[in-house]
Amino acid sequence: MGYKSAFLFMVLVLLGLSARSQDKMLTKEEAIALALEHNYGINVAKNDVEVAGNNKSVLNSGYLPTLTGSASADYGRDDSVIEFPGQYNDDGSPREDVELDKAEAQAYSSALTASYTLFDGLGRLYNYKKLKEQYQLSELQARETIENTIVQLFSVYYEIARLTENEFVLEKTLDISKDRFRRSEYAFEYGQSTKLDILNAQVDITNDSINVLNTRQELSNAKRDLNVLLSQDLTMLYSVDTLVTFIPKLKLEEFVEQAKFNNVSLLQAERNLAINAYDIKVQKSGYLPEIDLSGSYGWNLSQSAASAFFPGTNTNNFSFDLGASLSWDLFDGGSTTVQVKNAKIAHKNQELLKKQIEIEVDRDIRNAMADYENKLVIFGIQEQNVITNQNNFERSREQFQLGRITSIEFRQAQINLLNAQTNKNLAKYEAKLAELQLLQLTGQLLNVAL
């Protein structure tokens, strides 16, 4: 097989690989919905919120009384012989033995006991409020998980979009190289060019074909990454929306101004601070007394068989008791004092941590805003660069067809256009991801259309 036949065979193989089934279009809204419903990390976070919701319910508050029921039953049977050695009846005859056959004794009892803590130094109250704060904290933690997952989702989503656009650009580049190869063959047959032009065109087709294949492989890998984030079958193939819109600058500046009220890290710091404040009050409850109430209602039944000396008994009674108790640790060895001091230190540490988070969030927002603005400028430059290189390529193609420039000069114009187009695609999606990072820091990621 000659070089020409082998080359054409390679091209046919490449064309065969390019025949792909139509992928299902996945919009941004559908991607978010699938992630919220199926992503494993998000579902774990939702379950944690449900657990925190159970913990803050009145059933876990300690405000409800306890009621205990108990019952018992006992049964006994006695077979015995009672002897009277040396004892005689009134008529002088020896006293006979007494046999007790199947002497049964039974006892039954049941009771209901209720207890209630009337006052525990207010520890129960503050612990209940603490559980409510922990529930709100778990909601914020779930929101943070969702936000991180959405950013991760769109980093993959836009990577698929970028590679999709790059694949289209590379395929166009390959088509141009194929056309140049055919023209070089015709020109060689008519003696208007040398074999070197054909070889140069063949080398360029080979390089362009490899670039297309590598991009398709990267695209397939990115689609599988998307399926993992969406918890979908890895064989599911999605195509994505390549349209990107940016939020107006004035709107973003408004989001930045309100960031201290919406940033999830700051909100979590506030909840942790409130939890530590309640911890102090819970520990202080150890200084106060505890008052408990109790009550019981019971029933008892006992039955015993007659014996040689006593008649059988049958006792049936009901009982009802009420009680109250007060306990007060006047001195517990100092453990309550130590716990209160430690709780105050933990609260002070949380205040310091909150201030640190405020500074870090402010820095991150400023950096994210500057990075976003810089990437927008770069995107604008790259868009203009594509127009310039497109014009240069069209003029170069005209000159090449007229034989006024060499194939190497034409190829350079082709490569310049390819680089400009792929750089523009990269700049576009980097700018959008920078915008998403800024929206996350300002706490608006889940509140705006992406």
Residue-wise pLDDT tens digits, 253-274: 999 999 999 999 999 999 999 9
Q: What is the model's pLDDT at position 9? A: 45
pTM listed for this prediction: 0.86
Distance CA 48, CA 55 (A): 11
Q: pLDDT digits over 278-318, tens only?
A: 999 999 999 999 999 999 999 988 876 655 455 556 778 88
Q: What is the model's pLDDT at position 5? A: 45
C-alpha distances in Å from residue 65, one per residue of 69, 114, 134: 13, 7, 24
Q: What is the model's pLDDT at position 86? A: 64
Q: What is the model's pLDDT at position 3? A: 47
Distance CA 208, CA 11 (A): 11
Q: What is the model's pLDDT at position 188? A: 86
> Alpha-carbon torsion 429, 435, 441, 443, what sign?
negative
Q: Which helix (H) or strand (E) holds 109?
A: strand 98-119
Q: Can you list the residues of the chain whose pLDDT is less than 70?
A: 1-22, 77-103, 304-313
Residues with Cβ within 8 Å of 174's Cβ and at least 6 positions away in sequence, in order, are: 14, 205, 208, 209, 211, 212
Q: What is the model's pLDDT at position 2? A: 44
Q: What is the model's pLDDT at position 105? A: 74
Q: What is the model's pLDDT at position 138? A: 97
